């Protein structure tokens, strides 16, 4: 229970927790941020890691140059590389594992519903899924994996991967940088993070509601 409380606190107070991390660990925090974004996009078993909200919080912290050494351009490049590499690794895993993962035997460690949902999204939107999926949690983690399973030509995948990675990181990171320190946002940061999380999961909620009907 204490672990769950700590995890929830980490999500809701990303601005405060990130500032503490930079104070205690300095440059090592850059590696932590890189690792979180890489794992959230690159490992099929970690779709629960913060993505959108983390980027927004890092952007907010980066705007306060006087209080931290976080440089927005440096972080933008670092996390964009993490996002692109993550998808590339995810694609490679999909190619390696292949269709077996959709079988009952291959579903022991993965949520087959999430995989099938990503597959349907991929079928509906085609190659552009690699870009669109960046902005939808869960789908973001599974889309490159499904592309690999479907043997999507790698150079095509790479183009969409780079475009999507740049767009995703830039939108949330610079969104936090330019708007995160506005009084209305700063004084209600927890509410803003909750709103980002809600908007992120809204497509999934709508889809679930449609299935219930």
**Residues 6+ away with beta carbon under 8 Å from 154:** 91
Residue 105 pLDDT > 60, yes or no?
no
- Least confident stretch, 22-26, 39-43, 124-128, 179-183: 124-128
**Total structural domains within the chain:** 1
Residue 209 pLDDT > 60, yes or no?
no
Quick one: angle between helices 189-212 and 52-63, nearest 10? 160
Residue 67 has what pLDDT? 47
Rounded to an integer, the average pLDDT of 37-50 is: 85
Question: Which SS3 state, helix, strand or coil, does residue 104 take?
Answer: coil
| Element holding 149 (H helix, E strand) | helix 139-149
Percentage of the residues of the chain whose pLDDT score is greater than 90: 19
Task: Check: CB of residue 83 under 8 Å from CB of residue 143.
Answer: no
CA pair distance 198, 201, nearest whole angstrom: 5
Residue 147 pLDDT > 60, yes or no?
yes
- C-alpha distances out from residue 158 to 34, 148, 185, 210, Å: 19, 11, 36, 33
Identify the DSSP state of 111. Answer: -
**Residue numbers of the domain that contains 125:** 2-212
Task: Check: CB of residue 57 under 8 Å from CB of residue 157.
Answer: no
Please list the helix, strand and coil fractions of the chain in percent, rounded to the nearest 5, in that order. 80, 0, 20
Residue 85 pLDDT > 70, yes or no?
yes
Q: What does pTM read for this prediction?
A: 0.77
């Amino acid at each position: 229970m204490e672990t769950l409380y700590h995890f929830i606190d980490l999500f809701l107070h990303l601005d405060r927790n990130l500032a503490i991390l930079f104070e205690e660990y300095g440059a090592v925090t850059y590696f932590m941020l890189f690792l979180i974004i890489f794992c959230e996009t690159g490992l099929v078993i970690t779709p629960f890691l913060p993505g959108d909200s983390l980027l927004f919080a890092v952007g907010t912290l980066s705007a306060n140059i006087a209080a931290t050494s976080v440089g927005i351009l440096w972080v933008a490049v670092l996390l964009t590389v993490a996002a692109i590499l993550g998808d590339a690794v995810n694609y490679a895993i999909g190619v390696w594992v292949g269709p077996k993962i959709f079988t009952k035997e291959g579903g022991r460690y993965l949520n087959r519903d999430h995989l099938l949902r990503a597959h349907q999204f991929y079928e509906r939107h085609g190659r552009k899924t690699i870009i669109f999926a960046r902005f939808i949690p869960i789908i973001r983690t599974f889309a490159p994996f499904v592309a690999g399973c479907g043997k999507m030509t790698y150079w095509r995948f790479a183009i969409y991967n780079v475009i999507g990675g740049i767009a995703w990181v830039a939108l949330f990171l610079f969104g936090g940088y330019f708007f995160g320190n506005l009084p209305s946002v700063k004084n209600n940061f927890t509410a803003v993070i909750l709103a980002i999380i809600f908007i992120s999961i809204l497509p999934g909620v709508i889809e679930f509601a449609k299935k219930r009907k």
